[in-house]
Chains A and B, each alone.
Chain A
Amino acid sequence: MSKYRDLPRLNAFRRAALLPLFFAGLCACTPGEKFDSSKPAAGLVFDVGGRGDKSFNDSAYNGIERAQKDFKIPIDYIEPGEGADKESALRQLASGHYGLIFGTGFLFTDDINTVAVDFPAKKFACIDYALDPSKAIPPNVLAIKFKEEEGSFLVGAIAALTTKTNAVGFVGGMDIPLIHKFEAGYRAGALHVNPKCKVLVGYAGVTGEAFKNPAKGKELALSQIGKGADVIFHASGSTGLGVFEAARDRHIYAIGVDSDQYAEAPGYILTSMVKMVDISVYKTIREYLNGTFKGGLQEFGLAEDGVGYVYDKNNKDLIKPEVIKKVEELKKLIIAGKIKVPNK
């Protein structure tokens, strides 16, 4: 009781002073002015890195932004930041008006599984969902996966057809199965077109830091260049910026990942293995609005335009036309199922 006894003692002036605070609190609870609660809405929680990472998160944002323009639906996003509580960010969106909620990145897998069970009426989608054979995907969760190995196969072929030294390199970030997929596809692609080609491999580490260590990336790349590699593909987040730096230093080619990274080192980026995170987000929102959203696993590979490589005005002088011809043939063979690309 005593806790409340002080309350009436507040004089009128003090109570008046509290009023704006009270209203501010109310306003914070009501949705923004653009919000029309009669319409379905989509929310997105970013991975570490957040908007402006020029890669994964930005690509997801492009997808949701395009959906907002095309379908005129309200969207919102949360950037939980370093080590923050992803689960509560998901919960916050789920308890609002958002009918479809995205988690960007494999780190969301467990959190989405938990939150999806608590909000069975809401739909969830997790990009790069980490499949666990012992656990079923909740029915309202769409597990979006990419066949990175297929895109990596093609850039591996480009690398092995471009190298003059018969040696190509691969720099991975964290030593985990997701990154092994890139390596496996790349190696298979390189050896498919050039069986004599050496593939040198290095990983930056075994913790999440391994994706944010450009100095280590540069040393790994320099060491591979020292052993003859003249094209290096990376799948290592910003660690790869160090690979680009080594490529500039020693005048060799690097291959970007996730999004078109040409601008990071113009003239030295042979191509990029792109993951169409934006397309997957856009398609998922469209299905959700059409009422055709289905939970479960959905894989985006070459056939679905979910992965690919960059060949545009920036790098068309770096890659020979006959290389592109060969790679396009390989792409058709993979889509037709004639080439099976290993994923580990």
Chain B
Amino acid sequence: MTLWHLILLASIAVLAIKLLGYAVPPRLFDQPRPRRTLELLTVSLLAGLVAVQTLGGGEGIVLDARIPAVLVAAGLFAVRAPFIVAVAAAAAVAALLRQFAGFA
């Protein structure tokens, strides 16, 4: 499968899921258990993505400037900084540590 195939497949899947929400009878999933499961699935995926994006690289775990950068971003989110500010700060921390402090 080419990258284009993957992009179209993923995009159509996400769009179809949105349409499904308007098509199915609300009572089917609008119950405590499916609601809770979907919410925790989202939490689970996002937390997994944080770990993989912060530590992943090549064949396994790579410890580098991403770790302090992500900690700075988490601190900024904790004090309710705007999304773009925290993300830009993370990029700046990693870039500066690599440029001036010899981080990988």
Same complex for A and B? Answer no
B residues sitting closer than 8 Å to A (CB atoms) are none
A residues sitting closer than 8 Å to B (CB atoms) are none
